[in-house]
A = this chain, B = another copy of it.
Amino acid sequence: MIATAHTRFAKAGRGLAIFSGLIAIWWVVALGLRLPVYMLPTPPVVAEALWAGRDFLWGHALITAWEILLGLGLGLLLGVLLAVSMAFSRTLERWLMPVLVISQSIPIFALAPLLVLWLGFGISSKVAAAALVIFFPVAASFYDGLRRTEPGWLELARTMGASRLAQLRHVRLAAALPAFGSGLRVGAAIAPIGAVIGEWVGSSGGLGYVMLNANARMQTPVCFAALFILSLMAVGLWHVVNLVLKYLLYWAPDSA
């Protein structure tokens, strides 16, 4: 009990150390390279902008947070479904994979009109855009994991009279969980930028909107204040995902 409490303190402390360390590095870079505020504002300047615009930033942050979560959720769902169905049928994989790969090479501005046409300017078009970015690493990694399942386990399952579905459910899914983890990590890491890209489709709120707007008004500190919040979200999300995966992968070897 006490021990865990201790370690928890230690963890928090380490987190704080890293956080301030990175801020320090940022500061050094900004000053050391003599970068003007409109290129890279220093931490205090950004802190000021953060404080000054706290209410308005907070409001937009909530919107983006919401988009991130929905985008990640939808992306995961999509990725898992695709991975599983491709693992099920080689032919399907042959037809689907090229589409997925192509989908990754479509820039948002080419897609935006269609997204808006179909989903309107509401949150759904943004979530869709975000999901489009997020689903792929999940699908690719998870599919890879599914196809690399230890053959012996599948043979055993077959001798036990398991349907392909049962094999998938009880053997392959679990066996591919580490691979899914890799995919999920990447997905989580790019979820925030996914949301920002989503807002690029045209939105009246969210940190991406704030950044674009501040960028147009040359209010670089505000832009970086929003970016700072976004980074916090990114790291936070990453941390949560890692905890979840640690919990799910209790059985997988981990040298780290």
State the A residues within 8 Å of B (CB).
14, 18-19, 21-22, 35, 38-40, 87, 90, 93-95, 97-102, 104-107, 109-110, 113-114, 117, 136-137, 140-141, 144-151, 154, 178-179, 181-183, 185-186, 189-190, 192-193, 196-197, 208, 211-212, 215, 223-224, 227, 230-231, 233-235, 238, 252-256
Contacts and interface: CB of A to CB of B under 8 A. Distances in A.
A18 B231 contact: no
Contacts of A151: 253, 255
A109 B185 contact: no
Contacts of A189: 100-101, 104-105, 136, 140
Contacts of A100: 189
A151 B251 CA distance: 13
A254 B148 CA distance: 5
Stoichiometry, copies per complex = 2
Contacts of A39: 113-114, 117
8 contacts: A14-B94, A35-B114, A35-B117, A104-B193, A106-B227, A141-B183, A146-B255, A147-B255
In the complex, which of the residues A38, A105, A137, A256 has the most CB atoms of chain B within 10 Å of its own CB atom?
A: A105
Contact of A87 (B113, B140, B256): B256
Chain A interface SS verdict (over half): helix
Given A90-B256, A136-B186, A141-B141, A18 B101 contact: no
Contacts of A255: 87, 146-149, 151, 154
A148 B176 CA distance: 13
Contact of A95 (B18, B104, B185, B224): B18
Given A104-B190, A137-B186, A144-B182, 14 more contacts: A18-B98, A104-B192, A104-B234, A105-B192, A106-B231, A107-B196, A107-B197, A109-B215, A110-B224, A141-B183, A146-B255, A149-B255, A151-B253, A179-B182
A150 B105 CA distance: 36
Contacts of A113: 38-39
